[in-house]
């Protein structure tokens, strides 16, 4: 339930503050507090909350780049295809954290995002996310999506960790017994 409040506050904050459109490949940062009900019985941020916070980071990017309204008007939905997380340090209740989000790049089908959880200039966790924008069952190419805001540049070169992750995802699909 608290995520609904965070989401509503995010929309309100953008409505009143964010007049300038940001570049889609920039760094985006939001500040969050790990509330007690975000934490599990071990008294640290629960595993699923990292992914929920990542959702907020991507929504923040869509709002700041002005893509949110444009994609909604076209009926395009962002869908996560794969995620992986690396937990480095526990985030304790009432910790103030910065969520740094970045669109790392894209290929012919997918976009690749990274979310970094930082407190006191220390990395606590990192999430890699792969997804697509769709309308119905049709995949919307990233070039078409980014053209909505006048961004016609090619994808930045994907970091090596993303290239390795793409290869791993391909192998997992090939080796699946189903």
Work out the average pLDDT over 86-94: 96
Count of other CB atoms within 10 angstroms of residue 67: 21
For 92-119, the pLDDT digits (tens) are: 999 999 999 999 999 989 999 999 999 9
Token pair, residue 175, equals 């080796």
For 28-41, the pLDDT digits (tens) are: 999 999 999 999 99
**Predicted local confidence at residue 8, as pLDDT:** 78
Whether the CB-CB separation of 126 and 115 falls below 8 Å is answered with yes
**Predicted local confidence at residue 17, as pLDDT:** 73
Out of 16-20, 135-139, 147-151, least confident range:
16-20
- Give the global pTM: 0.90
Token pair, residue 147, equals 């053209």
Q: How far apart, in Å, are the Cα atoms of 53 and each of 63, 100, 150?
A: 15, 10, 28
| Spatial separation of the C-alpha atoms in residues 22 and 81, rounded to whole Å | 25
């Amino acid at each position: 339930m608290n995520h609904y409040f965070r989401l509503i506050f995010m929309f309100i904050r953008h409505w009143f503050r964010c007049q300038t459109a940001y570049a889609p490949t920039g760094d985006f940062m939001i500040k969050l507090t790990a509330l007690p009900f975000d934490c599990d019985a071990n008294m640290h941020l629960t595993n699923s909350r990292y992914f929920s916070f990542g959702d907020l980071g991507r929504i923040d990017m869509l709002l700041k780049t002005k893509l949110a309204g444009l994609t909604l008007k076209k009926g395009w939905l962002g869908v996560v295809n794969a995620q992986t997380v690396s937990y480095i340090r526990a985030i304790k209740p009432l910790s103030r954290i910065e969520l740094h989000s970045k669109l790392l790049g894209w290929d012919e089908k997918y976009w690749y995002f990274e979310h970094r959880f930082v407190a006191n200039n220390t990395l606590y966790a990192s999430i890699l996310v792969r997804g697509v924008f769709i309308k119905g069952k049709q995949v919307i190419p990233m070039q078409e999506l980014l053209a909505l805001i006048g961004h016609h540049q090619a994808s930045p070169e994907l970091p090596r960790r993303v290239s390795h992750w793409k290869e791993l995802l391909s192998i997992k699909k090939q080796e699946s017994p189903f």
